[in-house]
Chain A
Amino acid sequence: MSGDSSQTAPGEPLLRVEGLRTWFPIKSGVFQRTVGHVRAVDGVDITVHAGETVALVGESGCGKTTAGRSLLRLIEPREGVVFFEGRDLLKLPKKELRDARRTAQMVFQDPMSSLNPRLRVRDIIAEGMDSFGIGRDKAERTERVAELLERVQLKADHMSRYPHEFSGGQRQRIGIARALSVEPRLLVLDEAVSALDVSIQAQVLNLLSELQRDLALAYLFITHDLSVVRYLAKRVCVMYLGQVVEEASAEELFRDPQHPYTRGLLSAIPSIDPDRRGLDVSFEGDVPSSANPPSGCRFHTRCPQVMDRCRVEEPQLIQLSGRQSRCFLSEEGSCGVSLG
C-alpha cells in the first residue's frame, strides 16, 4: 500500500532536509531565563533517495542523533525544511504529521529500553498496525506479525513471549519488525547495531541489506562507526559540532577524504591487519561544547592544518564534483563555487 501511493514526484528524493536547526535553550538563575543555546543541529542538509542508504556519521555530541529525531519531529526543530514524500513535515499540523510519519519509522540503539517490557512481542509489533488501522481484524494482524517475525528471521511462535526472553540481537530484530509493520519507506536507524557483538552485528547488517533489497527501503543510518558505514552506505554525511563538514559517496569518502576531520576519523580506526599498527593521532584534544562552538571553522581548535583564516572566517560547504566539503583547503583545485 505504501510503495505505489508515493507522493514523491519523479526525480524528487524521498527525503530532502535543508537548513535544519535544532537548538536547546540553556537556562540559568532563579527565573530560569534563557542565557544561550546549545546548537545541537545547526544548518544540516540531508538528501535520501528511495531505496538507498545514507549514513550520518560523527562522534558523540556532534548532533547526529538530534538531527535524526528532529527531522521526524520527535524533537521540535527551530527551523528548516524536511520534505518527505512531497510534504514538508515541519509545516504539518500534529494530526496530519501522525499519518505522514507512518512511512518513516525509527529503530533505536538499545532495544531493551525501546520495547515495552510488559507487552508480548505480538502486541509490540501489532501496536502500530492497530493505531493506523492496518489489517482488517485482530486475526489478520496476528497473521501479519507472524510473517514479520519470519521476515526478520525469528520464529512465529516467539510472538507470545516477552522482550526479556530474547538476546540483544533478537530484540533488535523485534525492533526492526515493529518498524516494518506499518509498511514504511524510510527507516531512521540510530546506532541500531552499535550495542551488538561483532558476530551478531554482522547478522543484523545482513538482514538490513536483505530487507532493503526486498522492500526497496531507504535507510538513514546514524552511527559513530565508520567501518559499518563503509559496508552499508551509498552516501555519507560527516557531522561535527552540529554541521555537516563533508558529504560524499561512501566509496569516494573512504578512498579520498577531503575534510581534515574526516581524514582524522578514518585514520583513528584500528586495523586488524597485523602489518598495520600505530594509529595516526594527528589531532588532539576533545570536541568543544556546542553551547559555545569555536569561532570561524568549528574544527579549527583540533585541526592539524589550521590556517589564520580558519579562526575568524566560517567556511561554507564547498561544492566539488559530486561531493561537498566544509574546508577552505577544498577551495584550491576545485571549481571554487561556494554554496550558501
Chain B
Amino acid sequence: MSEFLLEVQDLVTSFPGSGSERARVVDGVSFNIRPGEVMALVGESGCGKSVSALSLLRLVPKPGAIESGSVLLDGKDILSLSVPDMRKVRGHEMSMIFQEPMTSLNPVVRVGDQVVEAIRLHEDVSVKAARSRTLELFKQVRIPDPEVRLDAYPHHLSGGLKQRIMIAMALATRPKLIIADEPTTALDVTIQAQILSLLRQLQQELDTAVLLITHDLGVVNELADRISVMYAGRIVEQGDRREVLANPGHPYTRGLLRSMPGLGRPGEPLAEISGMVPAPADWPRGCRFCTRCSEVLDICESEVPARRRLSLTHHVACHAVEATE
C-alpha cells in the first residue's frame, strides 16, 4: 500500500485546438496527496487547474478528453473504471465543492431534501435515518437553527449558508477526498473567513484529504499543507506551504506573490508580471513562462525545463534554478 491516498501521474487532458492538433490544457501533471492532507493547486485563470480537477472526477466536458496518465485513488485506477463504478466513486469516495453554491443547488427542492437525496444515492438507508444524518451534518457545518434550515429553499439562504449546505453535502458520504474548486471566491471577506475556518476545523476533525483549487494565495496559506503552482497546463513548482510561500523558487510563483496589492507600498508601482497567459495554441515550445519571465535565458525558449529539487519536498521546473541534490 502506498503512503498516498491520491496519486496523479503524467496526466494529459486535451481539447480540440485551432488546427488538427489538440491543445493539451493539462500537460503532464503529477502530484500526490496523503490521507488527511490539504494540497492546493494554484494558478491564474486558464492555467488548467479546474480541468485537472474535473479530470480526476472524469467529468471533463466533451470534446475535451483525458489522453494519458494515471490517477490512483487508494490504489484504484480511476481512469480505467467502468462508468457505473466511476459513478460510485464520485460523490462517495471523492466529492466536490464548487465555487458558485447557487448554481449547484436545485432551486425548487428544499435543501434538507437535497442532502437526504445525496445520502440515499450512495447508501441504502431510510429517509428518516438520512434526515437525522442531515441534521447532524447541518450542526457539524455550524448552520444556525439547523432544524429550520432543513426545510428552507436555496433562495432563502445567504451565500455563506448555501456554501455551508454544499459542504454538508460533500461530507454526507464521508469521502476520503474532497475537491474544493474556489470554495470561497464568490463570498465576502468576512464570510470567507468563516468558511475557511470551518473547512479547516472539519478537515482536522474528520481527517479528510482536500484538493483545494484557487487563485488566491491568501486562501492557500490559510488551508494548505502543500502547494502545486500551475502555469499553462504544467506544474512549475511544488512544495510544502512554508517552502513555497517563504522561499518561492519559480519566477512565476515569485511574480504571483509580489503582485498582491497588500504587499505594495502606496505610491510605488506594484510588481507586475508582464503580458498575459497565452492561448494554448501559442504556448512556447520550451518553458511556457518564457514569454513573460523577467529572468529568461536563451535555453528557456527551446528546452522544457526539468524538475530540479530544492529540498526533499520542494521542486521547481526552471532553467535558472540550481538544483541542490
Contact = CB atoms under 8 A, between A and B. Distances in A.
Given A224-B188, A281-B194, A203 B261 contact: no
Interface string A182-199: 000000000000000111
A69 B139 CA distance: 41
B160 interface: yes
B260 A227 contact: yes
Q: Which of A198, A265, A269 has the most CB of B within 10 A?
A: A198
A188 B278 CA distance: 31
A314 interface: no
Contact of B261 (A202, A264, A286): A202
Interface string B255-299: 111011111101001111110100000000000000000000000
Interface string A136-161: 00000000000000000000000000
Contacts of B222: 270, 277-279
A226 B188 CA distance: 11
- For the complex, would chain B's binding face be called helix, strand, loop or mixed by DSSP majority? helix
B106 interface: no
Interface in B151-203: 158-161, 188-194, 196-197
Interface in B207-230: 215-222
Interface string B211-254: 00001111111100000000000000000011001100000000
A276 to B, nearest CB: 8
A144 to B, nearest CB: 26
Contact of A59 (B144, B189, B217, B271): B189
Contact of B266 (A203, A226, A250, A265): A250
A274 B274 CA distance: 26
A271 B192 CA distance: 13
Contact of A269 (B161, B246, B262, B271): B262
Given A206-B272, A279-B193, A197 B221 contact: no
Nearest to B257: A272
Contact of B221 (A167, A227, A272, A281): A272
Given A59-B188, A272-B218, A286 B260 contact: no
A273 B272 CA distance: 19
Interface in A283-333: 283-287
A199 B261 contact: no
Contacts of B188: 59-60, 224, 287
Given A270-B221, A274-B245, 19 more contacts: A198-B217, A198-B260, A199-B44, A199-B272, A202-B272, A206-B270, A224-B188, A231-B261, A231-B266, A265-B189, A269-B218, A270-B196, A270-B218, A278-B222, A279-B222, A281-B190, A285-B144, A286-B160, A286-B191
